[in-house]
Amino acid sequence: MVPVYLDETKPDEERALDLLSRMTLDEKVSQIKFDSDAIDRLGIPAYNWWNEALHGVARAGAATVFPQPIALAAAFDDALLHKIGTAVSTEGRAKYNEQRRLNDAGLYKGITYWSPNINLFRDPRWGRGHETYGEDPYLTGRMGTGYIKGLQGNSKRLRAAACIKHFAAHSGPEKGRHSFNSVVSKKDLAESYYPAFKKCIQQARVEGVMGGYNCLNGELCCGSDSLINGLIRKEWGFEGYYVSDCGAIKDFHKNHRITSNITESAALAIKSGCDLNCGSVYLNAFKAYEEGLIDESDIDKCVLHLIRTLLRLGMFDKNCEHDSIPYEENDTPQNHSLALKAALEAMVLLKNDGALPLDKKSLKTVAVIGPNADSVPVLLGNYNGTPTEKYTLLDGVRSMLDEETRLYYSEGAHLWRENVEALAEADDRLSEAVAMAVRSDAVILCLGLDPTLEGEEGDANNSYAGADKTDLALPLHQQRLIEAVCETGKKVILVVAAGSALDLRYAEKHCEAILQMWYPGQMGGLAAAKLIFGEVSPSGRLPVTFYESDAQLPPFEDYSMCGRTYKCIDGTPLYPFGYGLSYTSFEYSSMAFQKTQNGGSVWVSVKNTGEMDADEVIQVYVSLKSEVCTAPHFSLVQFERVSLKKGEIKRVELKLSNDAFCVFDDEGNQIDCDRAAIYVGGSQPDERSAELTGINPLCIQI
């Protein structure tokens, strides 16, 4: 007779309970660590839960490398994220199927991806911000939901299991993160830090949640019954598995000093609902049981959640529909083309005094200068795979030029070197860069950072604060380089490769054009070149505020949203959230609004009034009036990317949920607002956006 857990006609819950009932306590304990053991007598293979797919299958060899998430956020295109998620999980299944045939169950070989990172990029100094979808909870939730639905698929079995991280309010600093306590008001939690997690759980039905290293208002994020079992399971309806960040449970006793020893830490995490341990603390779970700190039923709850996930992935099915995906589906030309499309949508034109697009037919000489101009690391970001096709900016420009056009290249300066002894070495290409600039009809200068300057704790190889930035300035030698090149009097096109906002005040004043390239994936250099030479019009929008300097920012350790992001900024930004230029122009007209029981609908007509086919990102913001609590300046509540041929006009409906008309009081309670101003346009309705674009969004008062 076939055991119930192997009977594919039975519900997953019944199958999971049956398998659990057949396991000994030792066997159960062997399943709650990330590198779970095989149980041969039950046909359970060894499985490593830890894999990454931040923007492509990561750390497991050849795979398509899409733009870093902060760049994908700039596309304002959740349908694109769904396509990318589908491509990533298809590549992941193709690799997994082949590795399973070869009996390879090692690290980064599974189909449980600990991605995406949906923490709020609340402060541009945070080194890991480029892993996120920016500073806005609505945008983050939309992009995260699109990616998760693509990763997990829409069939009987999950193609892969996504995992949102890091719950909750975990946005730096990196230095000290293992003992950090995020102090956050109930209002800020409800309004800013929780919404994306709630949306990804309820709308995308994400299979996994990873807890952060931090405490939240004194509660361990991997050891809080009220956060895990109370908030996300009972209140939000989460039905998947909860995993600790790697080493986070060890922090309970070693850094947070909430428990006395490793056994107590294991017990607290298990009783609180942390199902899976990335680390080694759960090796002490049996000891915790022997000491009476936990019951077998506590372990059962963890194992049941894990078995359910494996069943949803089809691992106990004889013929899972995804098992037939062949290895040939990995790293395909079609996915490379999708990576190119994503990079084209993601890049943001911040300034253009008519220098762009370049006319390559009129150019006899072009200089490509800068430490990021021929850099592969800036293409890849972090948590990345290995691309088999890639284009740096230098490669991309070279591919666009005619053979008779002379191309000069100089590194110009070291990326970051700071010590006095290295001064001569760091500047030894400065005169070369100037010599090339003065001989060129066009100067393309590529500056910025790379993942060794902004990243995760322990990744940095410089004097930055544990991979966080100490300020928003360009590294010293890059600042000297941009000044020397601009002083030649040549028109300079600045391309910024970085995962966060920088202080670009000098460039805004002295460069003729600025293109934010981000960390654009394997096809990024080609995409940038296509934009620079006008094959495609730029259409990206900033998912973060570009401040004038860090002087506008509150202290890094302060988790209050007061003074942060476009919603609560004090003063005027250099480049606002939602901003980005195009090579064409768009006209908005005939705005209308209708309130409905579920929210409302906005209609608007958009016309491409320029001379080039292009995409436009329509953005809807709401400013709420409340007599009982404080509302933000205004909030993004809807967006849609539309493609318009020159002269074309489209009538677009944008549906708003009831949440668009709600604010939160100091206790985190949701308050409905009857009075609101609704804005529709190609940017947010702030004075700086109007100054930069020359356009004010349309507005209706309700």
Domain presence at residue 14: no
Which residues are registered as beta bridge partners of 216? 182, 219
pLDDT tier at 460 (50, 70, 90 boundaries)? low
Per-residue pLDDT at 464: 52
Q: Are residues 302 and 386 in the same domain?
A: no
Average pLDDT (556-576) is 95
Quote the CA–CA distance of 381 and 451 in Å, as a whole number: 6
The mean per-residue pLDDT over the stretch 267-273 comes to 98
pLDDT value, residue 630: 72
**For residue 535, what are its two tokens?**
């094959």
**332 pLDDT more than 80:** yes
**What average pLDDT does range 532-542 have in this prediction?**
98
Average pLDDT over residues 455-465: 64
- Per-residue pLDDT of 335-347, as tens digits, reads 999 999 999 999 9
Confidence of residue 205 (pLDDT cuts 50, 70, 90): very high
Same domain, 309 and 349: no
**Arithmetic mean of pLDDT, 474-484:** 95
Given a cut of 60, is residue 462 above it in pLDDT? Answer: no
Residue 458 has pLDDT above 80, yes or no: no
CA 669, 672, 676, 681 dihedral sign is positive
Q: Tell whether 241 and 360 lie within a shared domain.
A: no
Give the three-state DSSP class for 316.
coil
Strand partners, 546: 575
Residue 393 within any structural domain of the chain: yes
Query: pLDDT higher for 426 or 156?
Result: 156
Say whether both 452 and 523 belong to one domain. yes
End of a domain among 522, 544, 566?
544
pLDDT level of residue 440 (50, 70, 90 thresholds): very high
* Domain match, 540 and 591 both: no
Distance in angstroms (rounded) separating the CA atoms of residues 514 and 423: 27
- Tell whether 288 is covered by a domain: yes
CATH number of the structural domain spanning residue 43: 3.20.20.300
User: Under DSSP, is residue 433 helix (H, G, I), strand (E, B) or coil?
Assistant: helix
Q: What is the DSSP letter of 232?
A: I
Burial degree of 402 (CB within 10 A; 0-12, 13-18, 19+): exposed
Which of 364, 511, 512 is CA-nearest to residue 439? 364
H/E element, 300: helix 296-312
Look at residue 417 in the predicted model and tell me its pLDDT: 77
- Is residue 34 within 8 A of residue 15, CB to CB? The reply is no
* Banded model confidence at residue 425, pLDDT cuts 50, 70, 90: low
pLDDT of residue 357: 98
Q: Is 17 within a domain?
A: no
For range 427-448, the mean pLDDT:
94
Q: 1: pLDDT confidence band, cut at 50, 70 and 90?
A: confident
Burial class (CB in 10 A: 0-12, 13-18, 19+), 2: exposed
CA distances (Å), 304 to each of 18, 300, 378, 531, in order?
10, 6, 42, 51
- Residue range 166-187: average pLDDT? 95
What SS3 class is residue 597? coil
Q: What would the pLDDT profile of 496-531 be if each residue is shown by its tens digit?
A: 999 999 999 999 999 999 999 999 999 999 999 999
Q: Which residues contact 535 (CB under 8 A, 6 or more apart)?
A: none
What is residue 191's three-state secondary structure? helix
598 located within any domain = yes
Centre a 10 Å sphere on the Cβ of residue 456 and count the other Cβ atoms it contains.
17
Q: Over range 617-634, report the average pLDDT.
A: 86
Per-residue tokens: 645:
């041929």
Residues 262 and 376 in one domain: no
Handedness of CA 666, 672, 676, 681 (dihedral sign): positive
Whether the pLDDT of residue 94 is over 90: the answer is: yes
pLDDT tier, 419 (very low <50, low <70, confident <90, very high otherwise): low
Q: At residue 48, does pLDDT exceed 90?
A: yes
Do 475 and 605 reside in the same domain of the chain?
no
Amino acid letter, residue 316? F
Q: Is pLDDT above 90 for 429?
A: no
Burial class (CB in 10 A: 0-12, 13-18, 19+), 353: exposed
pLDDT value of position 597? 87
339 found inside a domain: no
Q: How many domains does the chain have?
A: 3
pLDDT at position 600 is 94
Residues 382 and 261 occupy one common structural domain:
no
Residue 363, in any domain of the structure = yes
Q: Are 538 and 580 in contact (CB under 8 A)?
A: yes
CATH of residue 444: 3.40.50.1700
Q: Assess if residue 78 is contained within a domain.
A: yes
Question: 294: pLDDT confidence band, cut at 50, 70 and 90?
Answer: very high
CATH number at residue 683: 2.60.40.10
Give 698's Cβ-side CA count (13 Å radius). 19
| Residue 467 pLDDT class (50, 70, 90 cuts) | confident
Domain co-membership, 127 together with 238: yes
Please state, in angstroms and rounded to a whole number, the distance separating the CA atoms of residues 288 and 291.
5
Question: Would you say residue 673 has pLDDT above 90?
Answer: no
What's the confidence (pLDDT) of residue 637?
98
Could you give phi then psi for residue 591, rounded to 5 degrees?
Answer: -75, 140
Number of H helices, E strands in the chain: 22, 23
- My answer on whether 290 and 370 are in the same domain is no
Boundaries of domain holding 456: 344-544
Q: Edge to edge, what strands does the sheet with 513-516 contain?
A: 348-352, 513-516, 492-497, 442-448, 365-369, 406-410
322 lies in the same domain as 348: no
**Percentage of the chain modeled with pLDDT above 70:** 97
Residue 303 confidence (pLDDT) above 60: yes
Which amino acid would we find at residue 573? P
420 has pLDDT over 80: no
In this structure, the answer to whether residues 604 and 492 fall within a common structural domain is: no
Long-range contacts of 9-12 (CB under 8 A, 24+ apart): 12/308, 12/311, 12/312
Per-residue confidence (pLDDT) for residue 418, from 0 to 100: 65
Token pair, residue 284, equals: 């002490």
Mean pLDDT calculated for residue range 232-252: 97
Nearest Cα residue to 216 out of 247, 238, 248, 241? 248
Q: Is the pLDDT of residue 426 over 80?
A: no
Catalytic residues: 245, 454
Mean pLDDT of 622-647: 90
Q: What is the mean pLDDT of residues 49-76?
A: 98
Query: Which amino acid is located at 646 in the chain?
Result: K
CA atoms of 233 and 214, how far apart (whole Å): 20
Q: Round the average pLDDT of the chain to a whole number and report it.
A: 95
- Scored b (16 or more CB within 10 A) or e, 121-160 reads bbbbbbbbbbbbbbbbbbbbbbbbbbbbbbbbbeeebbbb
SS3 327: helix
DSSP sequence for 483-535: HHHHTTT--EEEEEE-SS----HHHHHH-SEEEE--S--TTHHHHHHHHHTTS
pLDDT of residue 416: 87
Last residue of a domain, one of 298, 326, 354: 326
How much of the chain exceeds pLDDT 90, in percent? 92
Global pTM reads 0.96
